Amino acid sequence: MVLAGPSILGLAFLLLGCSSSSPRFRSSDTRTEHIVQDEDEFRFASKIREETAKEDDKKVDVTSLQKKLSQKSAYINITPQGLNRDELLLDVVSFLGVPYQYGGNSREGVDCSGLTCNIYSSAVKQQLPRSTKEQYQMGTPVDKIDLQFGDLVFFNTTGRKPSHVGIYIEDDLFVHASVISGVTISSLESTYYKNRFLGARRVVE
């Protein structure tokens, strides 16, 4: 009896086309072509979710802040030379609410270092390295009390240093791609982030 359907040869060809060498599975996918430190953050997402629920005790009203940030020159404090405050703020606002996606690098989904890369590339016209670890090695170290608008702030959220990065705005606030909330604004004085603050770097002078 002859069975209807694809031949054995055709089936073999189909399976071969879905192998790891197929373009569908190659690492050239723009979302996975890099191996970034943020994988730790992704892997420990459930632990982070539990901890921040307990310890993020300084919640930011992101909706109200978004309206304020949308107004040009909402903040007038010190800004490093070469950094366009209004452009950066508009980019921050445009990313708010974008979901977290490990390896993501767009407004469809983004991880923490992907967010900083996007904003710096667009608003500052500077290309940052793709991983949190590499970004931590850039520029000059900045003490917490000397933070300025646009500085990169780093955290140890997984036990490996550094594992998370954001961009300092002002008033102890920073924008970042949170595993839990997507792109949002948090307070450095929240217990969770205060206890895990690792340092800051100024990459624009």
CB atoms within 10 A of CB 120: 22
* 149, 170 contact by CB (below 8 A): yes
Alpha carbons within 13 angstroms on the beta-carbon side of residue 132 total: 31
Apex CA 63: angle with CA 187 and CA 48, to 5°?
A: 45
State yes or no: is 34 an active-site residue: no
Buried b (16+ CB within 10 A) or exposed e, 11-38: eeeeeeeeeeeeeeeeeeeebeebebbb
User: What is the edge-to-edge ordering of all strands in the sheet holding 173-178?
Assistant: 140-142, 197-202, 152-155, 164-170, 173-178, 182-187
CA nearest to 34, candidates 131, 100, 137, 141: 131
What does the block give as tokens for 104?
Answer: 């993501």
Catalytic option among 18, 34, 112, 117: 112
Q: Which residue has the tokens 């206890």?
A: 195
- Candidates 18, 34, 117, 176; catalytic one: 176
Residue 164 annotated as catalytic: yes
- As a whole number of angstroms, the distance between CA 163 and CA 87 comes to 27
Residues with catalytic function: 112, 164, 176
